[in-house]
Amino acid sequence: KAGVTQTPRYLIKTRGQQVTLSCSPISGHRSVSWYQQTPGQGLQFLFEYFSETQRNKGNFPGRFSGRQFSNSRSEMNVSTLELGDSALYLCASSSRAGHQPQHFGDGTRLSIL
């Protein structure tokens, strides 16, 4: 069974640009969550989607948004990039919403110049 797939693996952007990251969950998983991992702040929850609806949102500014498609694939968008957005962005999927073990992808490493 294929794992969680995130694309791209690496991305370099400049301040002010926007970026879209993609996540394909494990087949059959309907819940997708996004996390930001930085050395200073650790792992922080961004948001969770289930059946195309955002179910939960962490404490991030509105520049961070996401969506989920009918096939459960999810995208995360960050607009007006700032230097502090440089991080590893992790996507995780689970079979259903509600405290299930999450299966993580390898992440997208975003660097802002």
Partner 1 sequence: AQKVTQAQTEISVVEKEDVTLDCVYETRDTTYYLFWYKQPPSGELVFLIRRNSFDEQNEISGRYSWNFQKSTSSFNFTITASQVVDSAVYFCALSEAHGNYGQNFVFGPGTRLSVLP
User: Which positions touch partner 1 (CB under 8 A)?
Assistant: 31, 33, 35, 42-45, 48, 50, 55-56, 58, 88, 90, 92, 97-107
CB of 15 vs partner 1, minimal distance in Å? 25
Asked if residues 19 and 77 have their Cβ atoms less than 8 Å apart, the reply is yes
Q: Which is nearer to partner 1, 8 or 16 (CB)?
A: 8
When the beta carbons of 79 and 106 are compared against partner 1, the nearer one is: 106
CB of 70 to partner 1, least distance (A): 18
Tell me whether residue 19 or residue 93 sits nearer to partner 1 (CB atom): 93
Cβ(20)–Cβ(14) under 8 Å?
no
How is residue 25 written in tokens? 């969950």
DSSP assignments along 71-97, one per residue: TS-EEEEE-S--GGG-EEEEEEEESSS
Taking the complex as a whole, the smallest distance from the CB of residue 16 to partner 1 amounts, in Å, to 28
Nearest approach, Cβ of residue 51 and partner 1 (Å): 9
- If you search the block for the tokens 């700032």, which residue do you land on? 82
Task: Please give the structure tokens belonging to residue 106.
Answer: 């390898």
